[in-house]
Structure 1
Amino acid sequence: MRDQPVHRTLVILVGVAAAVVVLFGIREVASIAGPVVLALVLVIAVSPVRGWLDGRGAPVWLQVAVPFLIVVLVLLGMVGILTISATELASLLPTYTVQFQQLLVEAQQWATAQGLSDEMLSKGLQAFDPGRILGLVQSLLGSLIGVLSALFLIVVLVLAMCLDAPITARILTTGEGGRPGLVTALATFAHKTRRYLIVSTVFGLINAVLDMIALSLLDVPLPLLWGVLALIANYIPNIGFVIALLPPAMLALLDGGVQTMLLVVAAYIVINVVTQSFILPKFLGDAVGLSTTMTFISLIVWTFVLGALGAILAIPLSLLTRALLIDSDPDATWVQALVSGRMPGSVR
């Protein structure tokens, strides 16, 4: 009996060490692992199309071709919009040098009138440099374009997975007798991932359109770019809203002044509160099955491992990890409750 705590501690330490080794190993091959995971998520997202075609007796080649073409068209559209918008942003940023200098002068005059020292103001403005924030967004878009520029690899992976999808579905069905827990866990992972992607995409598009309309009415430059950024940031848990808000707010400050910036912030907050806080939970509910703490930890871990793509795919990657390590083990009920933040018996 005395050896049991020691044995449990040893198992935990070995498990943590193995997880660290695996994560650092994935990080070393992030340029390959990222596209593979993205291709898998995209195939899962369009799998209902294949199922619908299969249910109507469509030939296998059509079951493969239609989902594949949907994914390719989406990827090409995203690459085109991001590339054009990032190029426009790069050419636009240098034109705001004068506005930024004028903003500094006005801020220093206001601070002097309020009795604040110039040194204190200079330090604050250095920490709150709109140019740095916009440059950070440009870097983020550049990394996303870098991932999507590996389009050939992603397309080949998607095609291979689409070709294997009918066979894989049959293999999983026949494997229910031998490993029912694993098969059920993988099916649950696919269902939760698909529901999360569909709902997040629909509400992301709604947010993007509303944001674009608000930015257009306020004459903020590049509303299409900020709409696409809002759609992409919608997949990033916890901090996605802030990432989508800061760049257009800073650009509004440089282009139209403080009043325009405040209007942009107010518009984004109203749109986000209505869609994300009141409407989205009614459709998504607890389908993800991850607590707030685990979601935030997932964001940190997968961003560290895969970069910007890891932040976007944090939820699907965490659901896959949960399916393989937790949901497939019938003795891990308490762990399921821990990561989902729900009492045992109501985890799923």
Structure 2
Amino acid sequence: MTAKNTPNYALWLVAIIVTLAALDIAASLMAPIFLAVVLGIVLSPLTDFMRRGGIPPSVGALFSLMIILGLIGLLVFFLEPILTDIINRAPLIWLELRATITDAQATLRGIEEVSADMAEALNPDDAPDEDDAVRLPSVTDALLSAPGYAGRLMIFVGTLYFFLLARVEVYDWVTRSTLRLKAAHLVEAEKRVARYFLTITIINTTFGFLVGGVLLLLDMPYAPLWGFIAALVNFVLYLGPAVFVVALVTAGVVTFDGPYSFAPAIAYVLMNMTEGQFVTPALVGRTMSVNPLLVFLSLVLWLWLWGPVGGIIAIPLLIWAIAIKEQAEKI
């Protein structure tokens, strides 16, 4: 490395740090914008199809937006009773889980005093301490949080609609300052992202139905909800399934007794390994494969910045960036 090149690397490092800090500080603004752009890229084939059919761009963008909002509304409608029941039973589930953990600790340690103290602390007849009880959100908490979430929803809806309406014009404006990339290159990159996301969505949806069916056969409570969550977390590669396994082990220990407690988690791991090692590679293909290290680092970065929203957009953004790089190399 020469002295001449050293300042360039230093400037790039400073630019990266400043960019990450800005994205972190402006998370409430930038996260819904990025999510809307990613969904707009995924929905681009649908809007293009309607445009070729003679449907005005404004109507096509509005129709695509209604599809997304309708799907969100249906999910909320069907999942609300189940989630409400789980929230109402949260204190009981927490006590059962603590009792199970305490029994395991007493068995491993073999100390009768510890077992007696824990059994007394977890006596169901006694009300749990304020510090140990599961704190549920109050109506006041919901009212205080509502304006912030409503603002993020408005940013998301507005960005998604206008991006679908004028994304080609946006590409023209972005590429106007570059000598190599053109709007057609960005359109080609978004087609790759849309094709990848559509394939993964079909795989994950089928996988979620299978997981829900297997858990239903195993008498797991709320099996359809577990299947839906399994499909959702499968979009967050590596980290999502790992967290889901921990949740299944916890739920299995609370619900069942003995070695059967681990049956749901074992069944899920076997299904996930089959899907990850055989199904997805066969359907996605090598042309859309991404370096696992880049996938992991992208997930860690975006999850660290924006939490679940970052986990959703991490892989599509990575594929989009790689596709743009490949388009630039062809010029």
TM-score after normalising by structure 1:
0.74
Q: Distance in 2 between matches of 1:287 and 1:267?
A: 31
After superposition, the Cα gap between the structure-2 partners of 1:244 and 1:287, relative to the gap in structure 1 and judged at 3 Å, is farther
Which position in structure 2 is the counterpart of 1:11?
Answer: 8
Q: Distance in 2 between matches of 1:177 and 1:152?
A: 30
Which position in structure 2 is the counterpart of 1:250?
Answer: 250
Q: Which amino acid aligns with 1:207?
A: F
Q: Which amino acid aligns with 1:89?
A: I
After superposition, the Cα gap between the structure-2 partners of 1:266 and 1:54, relative to the gap in structure 1 and judged at 3 Å, is same
SS in 1 for 2:220: coil
- Displacement of 1:19: 0.6
- Conserved? CA contact 1:184–1:328, under 8 Å: no
Q: Distance in 2 between matches of 1:89 and 1:44?
A: 35
- Displacement of 1:308: 1.9
Q: Distance in 1 between matches of 2:18 and 2:322?
A: 18
SS in 1 for 2:5: helix
- Displacement of 1:90: 1.9
- Conserved? CA contact 2:205–2:231, under 8 Å: yes
SS in 2 for 1:219: coil
After superposition, the Cα gap between the structure-2 partners of 1:284 and 1:46, relative to the gap in structure 1 and judged at 3 Å, is same
SS in 2 for 1:6: coil
From 154, 157, 160, the equivalent of 2:156 is 154
Instruction: Find out whether 1:281 has 2:281 as its counterpart.
Output: yes
Which position in structure 1 is the counterpart of 2:74?
Answer: 77
Q: Distance in 1 between matches of 2:244 and 2:238?
A: 12
Provide, for residues 83-135 of structure 1, a one-character-per-residue CA deviation record: whole Å limited to 9, x for no partner. 554433222221235533542464356436xxx567999xxxxxxxxxxxxx8
The size of the alignment, in residue pairs, is: 303
222-231 vs 194-203, which moves further? 222-231
Instruction: Find out whether 1:58 has 2:80 as its counterpart.
Output: no
Which position in structure 2 is the counterpart of 1:316?
Answer: 316
Within 5 Å, give how 1:94-109 maps onto structure 2. 94-100=91-97, 102-104=99-101, 106-108=103-105
Q: Distance in 1 between matches of 2:151 and 2:92?
A: 28
- Conserved? CA contact 1:111–1:118, under 8 Å: no
SS in 2 for 1:298: helix
After superposition, the Cα gap between the structure-2 partners of 1:11 and 1:71, relative to the gap in structure 1 and judged at 3 Å, is same
Instruction: Find out whether 1:236 has 2:236 as its counterpart.
Output: yes
Which position in structure 2 is the counterpart of 1:218?
Answer: 218
Instruction: Find out whether 1:68 has 2:32 as its counterpart.
Output: no
Q: Which amino acid aligns with 1:150?
A: R
Provide, for residues 212-251 of structure 1, a one-character-per-residue CA deviation record: whole Å limited to 9, x for no partner. 1122222222223322221221111222211222223311
Which position in structure 2 is the counterpart of 1:260?
Answer: 260
Which position in structure 1 is the counterpart of 2:298?
Answer: 298
- Conserved? CA contact 2:192–2:323, under 8 Å: no
Q: Which amino acid aligns with 2:298?
A: S
- Conserved? CA contact 1:182–1:323, under 8 Å: no
Gaps of 5+ in 2: 116-133
After superposition, the Cα gap between the structure-2 partners of 1:217 and 1:298, relative to the gap in structure 1 and judged at 3 Å, is same
Q: Distance in 2 between matches of 1:299 and 1:199?
A: 19
195-204 vs 80-89, which moves further? 80-89
Q: Distance in 2 between matches of 1:118 and 1:13?
A: 61
SS in 1 for 2:4: helix
SS in 2 for 1:313: helix
Identity between Structure 1 and Structure 2 (%): 21
- Conserved? CA contact 2:302–2:310, under 8 Å: yes
Q: Distance in 2 between matches of 1:86 and 1:7?
A: 60
Q: Distance in 2 between matches of 1:271 and 1:166?
A: 41
- Conserved? CA contact 1:208–1:227, under 8 Å: yes
After superposition, the Cα gap between the structure-2 partners of 1:320 and 1:30, relative to the gap in structure 1 and judged at 3 Å, is farther
After superposition, the Cα gap between the structure-2 partners of 1:97 and 1:10, relative to the gap in structure 1 and judged at 3 Å, is closer
After superposition, the Cα gap between the structure-2 partners of 1:23 and 1:104, relative to the gap in structure 1 and judged at 3 Å, is closer
- Displacement of 1:34: 0.9
Which position in structure 1 is the counterpart of 2:125?
Answer: none
After superposition, the Cα gap between the structure-2 partners of 1:118 and 1:201, relative to the gap in structure 1 and judged at 3 Å, is farther
Which position in structure 2 is the counterpart of 1:197?
Answer: 197
Q: Distance in 2 between matches of 1:209 and 1:87?
A: 22
SS in 1 for 2:318: helix
- Displacement of 1:59: 3.3
SS in 2 for 1:5: coil
Q: Distance in 2 between matches of 1:265 and 1:274?
A: 14
Q: Distance in 1 between matches of 2:237 and 2:114?
A: 34
- Displacement of 1:274: 2.1
